[in-house]
């Protein structure tokens, strides 16, 4: 028998493993003709231009992963699940969530998730379900990583910004390893370009000699958890050596006078010592940054999941602001979004800060960008407080595994009256659910993400299905539409006039639609579902799920006419929006939807000026002077970074561990000196203990680690079925080891990169 040949056709889609969402092309093959036989980068993709990393080649392990759910499931009294039909599932879920709303108010229903690295289209429809239930509190993974930085950006600029690494002279990465984690388009290519150009300079701040640090001109190998001191020292060098961009500061910023005194007397030598770095090297680094024609900066989990995380985000921004690195090529830019990512009301809601500070109902934690900090969710449930969350919808997220303190998180999910999970697989979270509502995989439906951060040309990719969906699962837009209807919040008579208008064409529909949502507040809260039920069925090739994008395209062109016009969406009235939508639906490799120039970046900054002082954080900065640095705790002498990105990690999207070509169990990395001292050999086992748990791990001795620092990868510790029934687990689930109370005082973000730990040899 000869091996089955792949079908010649290349299907255009994207990789769903990180926020870059590189365009890929897939050839189907294998025995059933449905395996991803060949995968290659899509050169026509506007952002990735044919680039992929090693991980995209393994996507078949997602599409054909274990534990797929194909029918709605209901939990029985004995804890096992039974399959039910969709009518029963929708009726019962609506009744149970509706009952919680009617008894305790919509604020007792909590929503978590709405999209992973590859799928935000479904979550966009959730906003209608949330409106129907009167949900007020929600969260997602951004609230355990990015909310501190978002808060700082909102305070200083009123907009999110990113670095232009393609054109910068100096690139600075703080607690980020883009060689593996990406987060910028074609990362490995861009890093190599910077590294090989003698006129450019790559600076990395990381305790580990990462793959990115290996390429760097300057590696500041900071002591774990001391970035706030290091960043403060870097800023202080700029201030004390008078390397400030004075003229630029005078015309583009406000409040420098309130900020500079905090750095004038700061002990650079003392802070460098705390950070474990030679003062000379820190001074040289600050000078290199200050003298560059352009500096692009990105921070990530190394500081965002660490002590003083919001303060570190602030100091990182002061460094490039005080040296004038904003709003010109090679520096930081403000991008134009098609759809804002985080937000008060659904993924389609407005981003930025809520008008006044909102707090979570039980713990009183700050809600940033509409998101309750992930680290307080369990506390908001495990209490007899009258305003506790009593029901939860989890969509496209696995909080029982991915949020801090898995044991407490599981207890919280179990304590809920009702837990509804919308997922493709029977995850750790789904197993705790009362109902599991299955969705088709991201290659079996229309899908997209709103991770569109490029500049000056920004692209959006609506992916067409690669495979037909199996019988059983329903796409998320359909699930949300049915839930809204079952809750009695949307009736056919509300939609009839819109359907009638549609018979007269898109333009008539647009007029009727915008008039209807302006006149009828109830309808305006259901927009995605309204569009899905009216426009949706008329879209070609079953693209009903794209209906919400129609609304987004029109809004975008109304709000950003210049960006849209430069990208080619011209005309009067509804024409640009219509053109953009058509381009999106037909552009199989993605389309450029916005083209800006650098002045657009300034237009997005509140009042056209960057606001430098943040009093809360300046106060925290002052306290660094007397705070004992993170030091050794005799009981837990190691710092564990719990959740490192490696060549073969991808959050929890792959449940099948055989996707990994190396590091199958996700070894604990440890320095040679520590290993020798403890008598642990490479490939050996060690006992790893934190205040929460004790586990046994495989050890990899690595000279990239500094003594006293150990690291575990993210996304491991999922269980999977072995042939014949029993289940096995590969590696350690990092959040068995973490504690939810270890979090930033301001943003509530976790200290996952800085977990106090003990390591001992296993006899
Ligand atoms: N391969 C792969 N890529 C991914 C993902 C994945 O699962 N796998 N996930 C994606 C997601 S969701 C995200 S958010 C990004 C995250 O991307 P990154 O933030 O780049 O990833 P991490 O490896 O978690 O952490 C970055 C670095 O922080 C360093 N670090 C640890 N402690 C400290 C410290 O005290 N100070 C400093 N300065 N650095 C420290 C670590 O050594 C590590 O190199 O990656 C995305 N890309
Ligand atoms: N200790 C520690 N914990 C961490 C981290 C760390 O570094 N250390 N990293 C954190 C970070 S940065 C992040 S972003 C989070 C990520 O953690 P999560 O937010 O939980 O994200 P994923 O692991 O990507 O899980 C996505 C879920 O979506 C499901 N899914 C896949 N496709 C579809 C679909 O089409 N529809 C639906 N409805 N579901 C789908 C998958 O089965 C999976 O259950 O983990 C965090 N947890
Ligand atoms: S950089 Fe790698 S993991 Fe990220 S989207 Fe591209 S191919 Fe996928
Ligand atoms: Mo993330």
Where among 388, 404, 438 does a domain terminate?
438
Atom 13, ligand 2: residue with shortest CA distance: 141
Q: Which atom of ligand 2 lies closest to the CA of 738?
A: 1
CA neighbours closer than 13 Å in the CB half-sphere of residue 290:
22
Does ligand 2 come within 6 angstroms of the Cβ of 653? yes
Measured in degrees and rounded to the nearest 5, phi and psi for residue 76 equal -85, 170
Which pLDDT score, from 0 to 100, does residue 352 have?
A: 40
From 14, 16, 46, 52, mutation site for ligand 3 pocket: most ligand atoms within 8 A of C-beta: 52
Mutate to test the pocket of ligand 1, among 115, 181, 629, 713 (most ligand atoms within 8 A of CB): 181
Å from CA of 675 to ligand 2 middle: 32
**Is-contact 396 651, C-beta < 8 A?**
no
* Residue 344, pLDDT above cutoff 50: no
Distance 15 CA to ligand 3 centre (A): 6
- Which of 403, 419, 438 lies at the terminal end of a domain, its last residue? 438
Q: Is the pLDDT of residue 309 over 60?
A: yes
Does 330 reside within a domain? yes
Mean pLDDT of 524-542: 96
Say how many C-beta atoms besides its own lie within 10 A of residue 159's C-beta. Answer: 18
**122, 375, 424, 463: residue to mutate for ligand 2 pocket, most atoms within 8 A of CB:** 424
Q: Say if CB 531 and CB 131 are below 8 A apart.
A: no
**Is 738 found in the same domain as 717?**
yes
pLDDT exceeding 70 applies to what percent of the chain?
97
- Domain count across the chain: 4
- CB-based contacts of 622: which residues, under 8 Å, 6+ apart? 262
Contact 345, 370 (CB under 8 A): yes
- Measure the CA angle with vertex 663, ends 659 and 669; round to 5°: 145
Residue 492 lies in a domain: no
Counting every residue written for the chain, the total comes to: 763
- Return the SS3 of 37: strand
pLDDT score at 353: 41
- State whether 216 and 130 are in the same domain: no
Domain membership of residue 328 (yes or no) is: yes
Note the pLDDT tens digit of each residue in 312-341: 999 999 999 999 999 999 999 999 999 987
Exposed/middle/buried for 623, CB within 10 Å: 0-12, 13-18, 19+?
A: exposed
The structure tokens listed for 238 are 């700029």
Tokens of 175: 């607690």
3-state secondary structure of 540: helix
From 13, 14, 15, mutation site for ligand 3 pocket: most ligand atoms within 8 A of C-beta: 15
Ligand 2 centroid–CA 752 distance in Å is 15
Q: Please give the distance, rounded to the nearest whole angstrom, from the Cα atom of residue 20 to the centre of ligand 1.
A: 15
pLDDT at 5 over 70: no
Q: Say if ligand 2 is within 6 A of residue 444 CB.
A: no
Which one has a higher pLDDT value, 350 or 203? Answer: 203
Residue nearest to atom 7 of ligand 1 (CA): 650
Point out the ligand nearest to the CA of residue 749. 2
The CATH number of residue 180's host domain is 3.40.228.10
Cβ of residue 92 lying under 6 Å from some atom of ligand 2: no
- Whether the per-residue pLDDT at 612 is higher than 50: the answer is yes
Cβ of 344 less than 6 Å from ligand 1: no
Cβ atoms of 258 and 613 closer than 8 Å: yes
Q: Say yes or no: CB of residue 714 within 6 Å of ligand 1.
A: yes
Q: Specify the DSSP class assigned to residue 283.
A: H
CATH no. for residue 19? 3.30.200.210
pLDDT of residue 3: 52
- Asked if 32 and 21 sit in the same domain, the reply is yes
Contacts of 435 (CB under 8 A, 6+ apart): 72, 73, 74, 75, 89, 92, 93, 418, 419, 420, 421
Among protein residues, the one whose CA lies closest to atom 18 of ligand 1: 176
pLDDT tens for residues 419-436? 999 999 999 999 999 999
CA proximity to 230, closest of 177, 266, 191, 181: 266
Give, using CA atoms, the residue closest to atom 12 of ligand 2: 145
pLDDT score at 342: 65
What pLDDT is recorded for position 453? 95
Is 305 inside any structural domain? yes
Block residue for tokens 């979270």:
429
Q: Does the C-beta of 204 come closer than 6 Å to ligand 2? A: no
Q: For the stretch 274-283, what's the b/e string if a residue is b when 16 or more beta carbons lie within 10 angstroms of its beta carbon?
A: bbbbebeebb
For residues 678 and 302, what is the distance between their CA atoms, to the nearest angstrom? Answer: 26
Helix, strand or coil, per DSSP, at residue 59: coil
CA-CA-CA-CA torsion sign (463, 469, 475, 478): positive
Among the candidates 438, 458, 475, a domain finishes at 438
Distance CA 602, CA 455 (A): 13
* Average pLDDT of the chain to the nearest whole number: 95
Give the closest residue (by CA) to ligand 1 atom 11: 18
* Any ligand 2 atom below 6 A from CB of 642: yes
Same domain, 206 and 300: yes
| Helix, strand, or coil (residue 436) | strand
Report the candidate in 537, 535, 575 with the shortest Cα–Cα distance to residue 558: 575
Q: How many C-beta atoms surround the C-beta of residue 715 within 10 A?
A: 24
Structural domain contains residue 266: yes
End-to-end Cα separation, the chain, in angstroms: 51
Among 129, 148, 400, 402, say which to mutate for ligand 2: greatest number of ligand atoms within 8 Å of CB: 402
Q: What is the pLDDT of residue 463?
A: 98
**Are both 78 and 197 inside the same structural domain?**
no
The verdict on 196 and 171 lying in the same domain is yes
Q: Whose CA is nearest to atom 2 of ligand 3?
A: 53
- Indicate the Cα dihedral angle 392, 393, 396, 399, nearest 10°: 0
Could you tell me if 205 and 139 lie in one domain? no
- Ligand number nearest CA of 654 is 2
Mean pLDDT of 477-499: 95
Global confidence as pTM: 0.97
Name which residue sits closest to atom 25 of ligand 2, judged by CA: 397
Q: What angle do CA 302, 16, 433 make, to 5 degrees?
A: 85
Let me know whether 136 and 221 are in one domain.
Answer: no
Residue 354: per-residue pLDDT = 44
Looking up residue 118, the CATH number of its domain turns out to be 3.40.50.740
Assess if residue 141 is contained within a domain: yes
- pLDDT tens across 135-176, in order? 999 999 999 999 999 999 999 999 999 999 999 999 999 999
Of 177, 207, 179, the closest CA to residue 705 belongs to 207
The answer to whether residue 580 sits within a structural domain is no
Asked whether residue 312 falls in the same domain as residue 409, the answer is no
Q: What is the mean pLDDT of residues 694-702?
A: 97
For residue 738, the CA-to-ligand 2 centroid distance in Å is: 17
Q: How far apart are CA 19 and CA 369, in angstroms?
A: 19
Q: How far is CA 525 from CA 126, 529, 734, in A?
A: 11, 9, 38
Shortest-distance Cα residue to atom 4 of ligand 3: 18
| Domain membership of residue 682 as a residue range | 632-762
Q: pLDDT, tens digit, for every residue of 454-482?
A: 999 999 999 999 999 999 999 999 999 99
- pLDDT at position 1 is 42
SS3 714: coil
Tell me how far the alpha carbon of residue 116 lies from the centroid of ligand 3, in angstroms: 13
CA 283 to chain centre: 33
Q: Is residue 307 located within the same domain as residue 213?
A: yes
Which segments of 187-316 are extended strands (E)?
A: 201-205, 218-220, 253-254, 295-299
* Residue 280 and residue 151 share a domain: yes
Rounded mean pLDDT, 565-578: 96
Lowest mean pLDDT among 560-564, 593-597, 723-727: 723-727
Q: How far is CA 126 from CA 435, 525, 542, 704, in A?
A: 17, 11, 20, 44
Distance between CA atoms of residues 133 and 113, nearest Å:
16
What percentage of residues in the chain have a pLDDT greater than 90? 94
CB 113 within 8 A of CB 439: no
Query: Is 691 inside any structural domain?
Result: yes
Are both 162 and 299 inside the same structural domain?
yes
Specify the residue with its C-alpha closest to ligand 2, atom 14.
Answer: 141
pLDDT one-digit tens code per residue, 377-421: 999 999 999 999 999 999 999 999 999 999 999 999 999 999 999
Report the chain's C-alpha Rg in angstroms: 26
- Give 461 Cα–ligand 3 centroid separation in angstroms: 14
Distance of CA 673 to the CA centre of its chain: 35
CA triple 55-58-64, angle to 5 deg: 140
- The enclosing domain of 719 has a CATH number of 2.40.40.20
């Amino acid at each position: 028998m000869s091996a089955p040949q792949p079908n010649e056709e290349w299907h255009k889609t994207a990789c769903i493993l990180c926020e870059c969402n590189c365009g890929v092309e897939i050839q189907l093959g294998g025995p059933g003709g449905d395996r991803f036989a060949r995968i290659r980068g899509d050169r026509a993709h506007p952002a990735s231009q044919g680039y992929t990393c090693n991980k995209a080649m393994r996507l078949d392990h997602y599409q054909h992963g274990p534990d797929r759910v194909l029918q709605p499931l209901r939990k029985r009294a004995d804890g096992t699940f039974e399959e039910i039909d969709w009518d029963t599932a929708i009726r019962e879920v609506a009744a149970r969530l509706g009952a919680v709303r009617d008894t305790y108010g919509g604020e007792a229903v909590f929503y978590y998730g709405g999209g992973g690295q590859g799928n935000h289209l479904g979550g966009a429809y959730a906003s209608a379900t949330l409106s129907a239930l009167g949900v007020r509190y929600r969260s997602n993974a951004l609230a355990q990583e990015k909310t501190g930085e978002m808060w700082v950006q909102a305070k200083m600029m009123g907009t999110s910004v990113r670095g232009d690494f393609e054109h910068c002279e100096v690139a600075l990465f703080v607690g980020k390893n883009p060689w593996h984690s990406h987060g910028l388009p074609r990362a490995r290519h861009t890093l190599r370009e910077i590294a090989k150009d003698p006129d450019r300079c790559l600076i990395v701040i990381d305790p580990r000699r990462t793959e990115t640090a290996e390429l760097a001109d300057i590696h500041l190998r900071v002591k774990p958890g001391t970035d706030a001191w290091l960043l403060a020292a870097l800023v202080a060098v700029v201030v004390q050596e008078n390397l400030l961009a004075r003229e630029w500061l005078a015309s583009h910023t406000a409040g420098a006078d309130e900020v500079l005194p905090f750095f004038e007397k700061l002990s650079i030598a003392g802070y460098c010592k705390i950070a474990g770095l030679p003062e000379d090297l820190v001074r040289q680094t600050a000078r290199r940054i200050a003298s560059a024609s352009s500096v692009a900066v990105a921070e990530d989990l190394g500081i965002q999941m660490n002590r003083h995380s919001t303060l570190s985000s602030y100091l990182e921004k002061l460094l490039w602001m005080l040296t004038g690195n904003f709003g010109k090529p090679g520096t930081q830019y403000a991008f134009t979004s098609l759809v804002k990512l985080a937000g008060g009301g659904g993924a389609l809601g407005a981003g930025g800060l809520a008008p006044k500070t909102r707090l979570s109902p039980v713990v009183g934690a700050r809600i940033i960008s509409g998101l309750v900090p992930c680290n307080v969710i369990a506390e908001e449930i495990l209490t007899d407080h009258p305003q506790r969350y009593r029901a939860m919808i989890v969509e496209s997220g696995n909080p029982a595994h991915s949020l801090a303190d898995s044991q407490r998180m599981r207890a919280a999910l179990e304590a809920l009256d009702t837990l509804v999970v919308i997922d493709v697989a029977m995850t750790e979270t789904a197993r705790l659910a009362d109902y599991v509502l299955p969705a088709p995989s991201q290659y079996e439906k229309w899908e997209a993400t709103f991770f569109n951060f490029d500049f000056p040309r920004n692209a959006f990719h609506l992916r067409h299905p690669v495979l037909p969906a199996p019988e059983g699962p329903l796409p998320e837009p359909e699930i949300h539409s049915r839930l809204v209807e079952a809750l009695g919040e949307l009736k056919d008579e509300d939609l009839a006039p819109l359907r009638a208008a549609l018979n007269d064409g898109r333009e008539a529909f647009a007029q009727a639609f915008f008039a209807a949502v302006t006149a009828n507040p109830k309808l305006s809260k259901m927009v995605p579902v309204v569009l899905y039920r009216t426009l949706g069925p008329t879209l070609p090739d079953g693209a009903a799920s794209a209906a919400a994008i129609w609304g987004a395209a029109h809004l975008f062109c109304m709000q950003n006419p210049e960006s849209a016009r430069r990208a080619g969406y011209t005309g009067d009235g509804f024409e640009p929006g219509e053109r953009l939508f058509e381009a999106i639906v037909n552009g199989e490799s993605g389309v450029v939807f916005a083209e800006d120039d650098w002045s657009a970046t300034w237009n997005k900054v509140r009042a056209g000026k960057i606001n430098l002082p943040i009093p809360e954080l300046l106060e925290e900065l002052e306290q660094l002077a007397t705070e004992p640095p993170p030091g050794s705790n005799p009981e837990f002498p190691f710092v564990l970074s719990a959740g490192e990105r490696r060549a073969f990690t991808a959050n929890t999207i792959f449940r099948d561990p055989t996707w990994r070509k190396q590091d199958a169990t996700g070894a604990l990395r440890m320095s040679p000196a520590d290993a020798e001292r403890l008598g642990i050999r490479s490939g050996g086992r060690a006992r790893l203990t934190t205040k929460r748990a004790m586990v046994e791990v495989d050890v990899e001795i690595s000279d990239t680690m500094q003594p006293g620092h150990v690291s575990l990868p993210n996304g491991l510790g999922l269980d999977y079925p072995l042939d014949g029934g029993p289940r096995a687990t590969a590696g350690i689930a990092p959040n068995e080891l973490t504690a939810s109370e270890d979090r930033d005082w301001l943003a509530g973000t976790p200290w996952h990169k800085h977990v106090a730990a003990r390591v001992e040899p296993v006899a």
